[in-house]
């Protein structure tokens, strides 16, 4: 009495080969142009891509760099904080968010996240502010904006810089109570993003960028990302060698044109999951903050009975449905950050989420039938 059909077609967590196949002629041409011009470092495609991405994100300055982790390092360097300054970060995030602060000799201060949106809890962030606080890093996790209304107000009230780690929410927007709408990344003093291949705007290797509305800061970031030099062999400050390859910039120009379509496709997949999974006992679909659009870097459900999360993951795997757990451990449980001295139980929401979240396949090419199949398996379980 088998009731479940086989998957309509093999289901992947993401399908970059198929996405790139559709863009192949344009990608080939971009590659060929860079090969022909042989300007592999700081070639014309880098500036062109920065300008196009800036335009897409509402006119802010974009400073490309080598990856999203370097972007966080550069963002913090641009704030010129004193050694040991505190940087408030969410306890539920990818580790790069605080790695940069730790490497710079700054002190990561963890705060818990909201149980509904998984994003940094503004009240907890405000409570963690001390005279030594230099910045708050808000992560727009899984594709939805953190509470930028509250965070912007806290940042202004305490004179503490707001950095947005926008590696997962490129193109998302947030509507303020004033009626004004802003792109994720365009609200804080400086924000960062990643073009790691699996991100919503991914290159074919490593890449990253910073975003700022402040022209002086954009110049500073440009220098910091290129050995602190103002012009060749003239070094104003100690910087990094963190440039976006011309080749990646050229490929990103092609992929950026596809981004609005891909975002809409991800949102359509999410809406189908929402509809198919609504009312399914034992799971919660991702909560939406009405003020933010959601670009669904991940579609992350919560399994109410955390004991059964890993069973559900195995069951889905058996049915040909790959899933991921982002993230299995909160930051304070990582051995590398034991030195911060946090204890188990200190960030209960982050800890609870690590035990209950499950990210389902979501990418622009996932079909209606595939989504229905995944939802059917989950309901069956
Ligand atoms: C991917 C990611 C990063 C790091 O980006 P890389 O390009 O891999 O260095 C940082 N923060 C978040 C939230 C991410 O998802």
| Per-10-residue mean pLDDT, the chain, length 381 | 70 95 97 96 97 96 98 98 97 96 97 97 98 98 98 98 98 98 98 98 98 97 96 93 98 98 98 96 96 98 95 97 97 96 97 98 97 96 93
State the Cα torsion 224-218-144-250 to the nearest 10°.
Answer: -80
List residues near ligand 1 (CB under 6 A).
67-69, 93-94, 96-97, 139, 165, 167-168, 194, 196, 206, 208
> Rounded to the nearest 10 degrees, what angle do helices 368-380 and 309-318 cross at?
130
Distance CA 3, CA 45 (A): 53
Distance CA 10, CA 30 (A): 30
- From 194, 198, 326, the mutation candidate for ligand 1 (largest count of ligand atoms within 8 A of CB) is 194
Distance CA 351, CA 91 (A): 9
Contact in structure between 240 and 86 (CB atoms under 8 Å): no
First-to-last alpha carbon distance for the chain, in angstroms, is 15
The domain 258-380 is classified under which CATH number: 3.90.226.10, 1.10.3470.10, 3.90.1150.10, 3.40.50.2300?
Answer: 3.90.1150.10
Measured in Å, residue 68 CA sits from the centre of ligand 1 at: 5
State the Cα torsion 219-224-227-233 to the nearest 10°.
Answer: 30
Index of the ligand 1 atom closest to the CA of residue 207: 7
pLDDT value of residue 1:
39
pLDDT value of residue 7:
83
> Which residue in this structure is represented by tokens 């192949």?
24
- Tell me which residue has its CA closest to atom 6 in ligand 1: 68
245 DSSP 8-state letter:
B
User: Phi and psi for 163 in degrees, rounded to 5?
Assistant: -110, 130
Distance CA 125, CA 146 (A): 12
| CATH code linked to domain 19-253 | 3.40.640.10
Measured in Å, residue 159 CA sits from the centre of ligand 1 at: 26
Measured in Å, residue 322 CA sits from the centre of ligand 1 at: 21
Q: Where are the domains of the chain?
A: 19-253, 258-380
Q: How far is CA 275 from CA 116, 137, 338, 371, in A?
A: 18, 33, 42, 10
pTM exceeds 0.85 for this model: yes
Distance CA 139, CA 281 (A): 30
Index of the ligand 1 atom closest to the CA of residue 208: 7
């Amino acid at each position: 009495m088998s009731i479940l059909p086989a998957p309509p077609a093999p289901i992947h967590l993401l399908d970059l080969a198929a996405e790139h196949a559709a863009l192949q002629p344009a990608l080939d041409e971009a590659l060929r142009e860079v090969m022909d011009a042989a300007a592999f470092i700081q070639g014309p495609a880098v500036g062109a891509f920065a300008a196009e991405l800036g335009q897409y994100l509402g006119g802010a300055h974009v400073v490309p760099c080598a990856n999203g982790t370097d972007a966080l390092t550069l963002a913090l360097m641009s704030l010129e904080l004193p050694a040991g300054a505190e940087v408030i970060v969410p306890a539920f995030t990818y580790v790069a968010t605080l790695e940069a602060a730790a490497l710079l000799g700054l002190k990561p201060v963890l705060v818990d996240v909201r149980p509904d949106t998984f994003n940094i809890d503004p009240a907890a962030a405000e409570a963690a502010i001390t005279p030594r606080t230099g910045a708050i890093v808000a992560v727009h996790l899984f594709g939805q904006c953190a509470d930028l209304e509250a965070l912007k107000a806290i940042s202004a009230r305490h004179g503490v810089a707001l950095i947005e780690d926008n590696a997962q929410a490129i193109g998302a927007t947030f509507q303020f109570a004033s009626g004004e709408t802003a792109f994720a990344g365009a609200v804080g003093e400086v924000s960062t993003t990643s073009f790691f291949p699996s991100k919503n705007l991914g290159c074919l290797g490593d890449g990253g960028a910073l975003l700022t509305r402040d022209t002086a800061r954009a110049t500073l970031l440009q220098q910091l990302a290129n050995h602190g030099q103002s012009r060749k062999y003239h070094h104003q400050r100690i910087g990094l060698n963190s440039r976006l390859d011309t080749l990646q910039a050229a490929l990103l120009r092609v992929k950026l044109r596809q981004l609005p379509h891909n975002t809409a496709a991800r949102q359509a997949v999410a809406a189908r999951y929402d509809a198919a999974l609504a009312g399914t006992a034992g799971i919660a679909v991702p909560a939406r903050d009405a003020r933010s659009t959601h670009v669904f870097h991940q579609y992350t459900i919560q399994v109410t009975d955390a004991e059964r999360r890993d069973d559900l993951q195995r069951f889905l795997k058996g049915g040909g449905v790959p899933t991921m757990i982002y993230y299995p451990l909160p930051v304070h449980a990582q051995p590398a950050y034991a030195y911060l001295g946090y204890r188990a139980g200190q960030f209960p929401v982050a800890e609870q989420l690590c035990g209950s979240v499950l990210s389902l396949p979501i990418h622009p090419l996932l079909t209606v039938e595939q989504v229905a199949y995944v939802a059917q398996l989950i309901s069956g379980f």
